[in-house]
């Protein structure tokens, strides 16, 4: 299976702290994407990092990709209560023509 | 304006019934998808259509039949519903089948009783 695995499954931190989530995968990829899902809502795309990139920033988000270890991390800095959501990584495996999602990290930001 | 809209948002039905979920995207995308999210939040692709043609069918039971009348619409019809079909179904679209950013609908929570 090329399913990604995310770690931790759940994370609870205080507002203002940084949150780090990790994703591991099994096959060669074209790109890796991170999505956010608020409770009862659809997924929202956050950031895409290509296989030839090592780091990417978007606002308070920082994503790293290590293709040799087949892993990625998502860092949310200066967390806010509104960041409370589930975060999913998704891999676009070479030749697969589909996104494969991990099971997500449930992030809770405590005020 | 909603980019990817799916209806209904909630669907409660009895076992054995046939139901449909509709999806429309106004983004001009060529590719549309159906995903199923189970109770453990695991999200799995079911179907992928590119320009109205089926390109992915992920070993989904024949009771599930997608239909794409045009590239802006991808509907999902389910026959003979079973308890195990209860889940949240998401429609999504992307510019091309190479999976650039995907845009998701709000989901349809299907409950089979």
Of A41, A86, A90, the CB nearest to B41: A86
In chain A, residues with a C-beta closer than 8 Å to the C-beta of B102 are 33, 43, 45, 90, 99
Query: Could B99 and A103 be called an inter-chain contact, meaning their C-beta atoms sit closer than 8 Å?
Result: no
pLDDT in tens, A56-111: 999 999 999 999 999 999 999 999 999 999 999 999 887 777 888 988 999 999 99
Query: Could A41 and B4 be called an inter-chain contact, meaning their C-beta atoms sit closer than 8 Å?
Result: no
- What is the per-residue pLDDT for B53? 86
Residue B83 DSSP SS3: helix
In chain B, residues with a C-beta closer than 8 Å to the C-beta of A43 are 43, 90, 92, 102, 104
- What is the per-residue pLDDT for B97? 60
Spans of chain B, pLDDT less than 50: none
- What is the per-residue pLDDT for A65? 98
Mutate to test the interface with B, among A99, A103, A104 (most CBs of B within 10 A): A99
pLDDT in tens, A30-69: 999 999 999 989 999 999 999 999 999 999 999 999 999 9
| Residue A71 Cα distances to A27, A32, B100, angstroms | 11, 10, 19
pLDDT in tens, B81-94: 999 999 999 999 99
Cβ burial, residue A69 (10 Å; 0-12/13-18/19+): exposed
Chain B nearest-CA distance from A77, in A, is 23
Residues 6 or more apart in contact with residue B83 via CB below 8 angstroms: B15, B112, B113
CA B60 – CA A100 distance, rounded (Å): 16
Mutate to test the interface with B, among A85, A98, A102, A103 (most CBs of B within 10 A): A98
Q: How many CB atoms lie within 10 A of CB B23?
A: 25
- What is the per-residue pLDDT for A99? 86
């Amino acid at each position: 299976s090329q399913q990604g695995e995310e770690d931790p499954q759940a994370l609870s931190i205080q507002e203002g702290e940084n949150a780090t989530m990790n994703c591991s995968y099994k096959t060669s990829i074209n790109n890796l994407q991170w999505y956010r899902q608020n409770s009862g809502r659809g997924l929202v795309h956050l950031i895409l990092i290509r296989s030839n990139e090592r780091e990417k920033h978007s606002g308070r988000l920082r994503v790293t990709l290590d293709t040799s270890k087949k892993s990625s991390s998502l860092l949310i800095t200066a967390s806010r209560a509104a960041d409370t959501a589930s975060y999913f990584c998704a891999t676009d495996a070479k030749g697969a023509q589909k996104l494969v999602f991990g099971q997500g990290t449930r992030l809770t930001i405590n005020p | 304006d909603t980019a990817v809209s799916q209806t209904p948002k909630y669907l409660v039905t009895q076992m054995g019934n046939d139901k449909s979920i509709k999806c429309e995207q106004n983004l001009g995308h060529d590719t549309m998808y159906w995903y199923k999210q189970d109770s453990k939040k695991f999200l799995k692709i079911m179907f992928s259509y590119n320009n109205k043609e089926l390109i992915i069918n992920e070993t989904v039971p024949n009771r599930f039949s997608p239909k794409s009348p045009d590239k802006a619409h991808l509907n999902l019809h389910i026959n003979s519903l079973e308890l195990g079909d209860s889940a949240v179904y998401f429609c999504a679209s992307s510019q091309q089948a190479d999976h650039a950013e995907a845009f998701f609908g709000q989901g349809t929570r299907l409950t089979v009783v």
